[in-house]
Amino acid sequence: MLAAEFPAVKEVQKWLGNPQEATFDSLSVKQLQYHMTLLKWFSTLKYEDPTTNAKFLLLAEERYVCWLSLLKYWTWDTNTIPVPPIDVALMWHAHLLSPFAYYEDMSLLEHNGLLLEYEFPLEKLHEVYLNDCQVPEDSVRAWEEFAGKPYHLQLDDFPKYKTHCPWCKAEFDLSWEEAVDLRTRKRPQVHIKCSTCNAPYNRDVLSGHQFWSHVHRHLTVPYTYLRGTVIDVNQGAQLEARTDMDHAILFDGLSAQEAADRRNNWRACRWKNILFELREVETRARRRRFYRNVRPYTITRIISRYREQLSPFSLDLCRAVLRQHEFTTK
């Protein structure tokens, strides 16, 4: 079953394809009240120190990934999901504010569209806030048993940012100043190299590694696609046949082993080399008169979703929340 066949997805598609036709008929005063409560709660999560604030968001993003895994394997009714930790709710809310990115990311995470069935638990979070932020024990237990992490995020538990080299797999720590600079600064000032293999550890090659990893996944796992290809921007919907066509033409002649070789070579992960390869792909397709079957925006959107992007999603949620903070403090 395609994601587009789910009722909840049809509502999203209405917004994506014909926002002028969407109405607020189903929006109640209670829902507005719940939302205002949530925004009030979110406002308490901001730290004055920029590094601490960004540290909180980076950890919250990691925990949001765990939350989506929990939902993916949730075996009970979609209406019985646990109350998410408030930091996770912050990330989920930020993701939902970009419906194109949310729809695409959820479709890429779960091909059958199940993740799009879950509604954001506004009322439950409202009730928790009014109850002095006391979370039901079953929600705490469900989270901690599945994620293996404390329900309440404690920043002191993370003195360093733990990471690893994607090429030699050596584990190492970064200071939070380095991690925040790398992830959130427009032009990072830090220059980091792996002490084991001497590979650079920067946004250029790390995002390139993610690109080639996803190309390799597409070539080895059915129904897996690259970011920027799932939603048809003209129709505001998922057209799987067009997505398949784009991938078949763009990656024609590239084997899974070749994609893996590029992924495993940090020099091939430089974006100047990736862009060269994409231009070569376009040239070959045009020469064979296949390129007219590729949607005109596909390559541009793929590049925009991967280049310099270290988030596990097509949208950098940390930077999105930081932009919201800037907007609300003006």
Per-residue pLDDT tens for 110-122?
766 778 888 899 9
What is the extent of the structural domain holding 209? 203-306
DSSP bridge partners of 163: 172
Beta-carbon contacts of residue 84 (< 8 Å; ≥ 6 apart): 67, 92, 121, 125, 139, 143
pLDDT at 6: 37
Distance of alpha carbon 210 from its chain centroid, rounded?
12
pLDDT in tens, 18-35: 544 444 555 678 888 999
Q: Is residue 179 part of a domain?
A: no
In this structure, the answer to whether residues 152 and 217 fall within a common structural domain is no
Decide: helix, strand or coil at residue 59. helix
Band of pLDDT at residue 7, cut at 50, 70 and 90:
very low
Residues of the chain above pLDDT 90, percent: 70
pLDDT score recorded for residue 115: 85
For residues 4 and 238, what is the distance between their CA atoms, to the nearest angstrom? 7
What's the pLDDT at 22? 47
Please count the structural domains in the chain: 2
Q: What is the mean pLDDT of residues 223-228?
A: 93
Same domain for 255 and 144: no
Mean pLDDT for 11-20 is: 49
Same domain, 112 and 248: no
- Measured distance CA(256)–CA(216) in Å, rounded: 5
Separation between Cα atoms, residue 61 and residue 322, nearest integer Å = 13
Domain boundary among 124, 156, 188: 156
- Determine the pLDDT at residue 238: 81
At 27 the pLDDT is: 63
Range with the largest mean pLDDT of 19-28, 66-75, 194-203, 277-286: 194-203
* 104/219 same-domain check: no
Cα angle at 105 between 76 and 135, to 5 degrees?
45
Any domain includes 324: no
**Are 124 and 210 members of one domain?**
no
1, pLDDT greater than 70? no
Same domain membership, residue 90 and residue 15: yes
Q: Write out the E strands in the chain.
A: 161-164, 171-174, 231-232, 237-238
Residue 20 lies in a domain: yes
Clarify whether residues 16 and 146 are in a common domain: yes
The per-residue pLDDT for 48 is 94
Q: Would the pLDDT of 75 be above 90?
A: no
Strand 237-238 with 171-174, pairing: unpaired
The answer to whether position 197 is within a domain reads: no
Say what the pLDDT of residue 239 is.
83
Cα separation, 240 vs 230, whole angstroms: 7
**Amino acid 278: pLDDT:** 93
- Within a domain: 14: yes
Cα three-residue angle 264-267-273, rounded to 5 degrees: 110
Q: Are residues 151 and 224 in the same domain?
A: no
Mean pLDDT of 117-134: 94
Say whether both 95 and 16 belong to one domain.
yes
Report the chain's mean pLDDT, rounded to a whole number.
89
In a domain, 187, yes or no: no
**150, 19: one domain:** yes
Cβ(302)–Cβ(226) below 8 Å: yes
Is 252 part of a structural domain of the chain?
yes
CA angle 107, 95, 73 (to 5 degrees): 50
- CA distances to 52, 73, 140 from 136, in Å: 28, 21, 7
| 274 touches 210 (CB < 8 A) | no
pLDDT at 24: 52
What does the pLDDT read at residue 172? 96
Residue 329 lies in a domain: no
* Long-range own/partner contacts, residues 284-287 (CB < 8 A, 24 or more apart): 284/253, 285/249, 285/250, 285/252
Give the span between the Cα atoms of 5 and 18, in whole angstroms: 17
Paired with 173 in beta bridges are 162
- Rounded distance between C-alpha atoms, residue 250 and residue 299, angstroms: 9
Closest CA to 152 of 125, 131, 133: 133
- Could you say which of 156, 191, 215 is where a domain stops? 156
Average pLDDT of span 233-249: 86
C-beta neighbour count of 120 within 10 angstroms: 16
* pLDDT, position 104: 92
Over pLDDT 70: what percentage of the chain?
A: 89
What is the rounded average pLDDT of the residues 201-224? 96
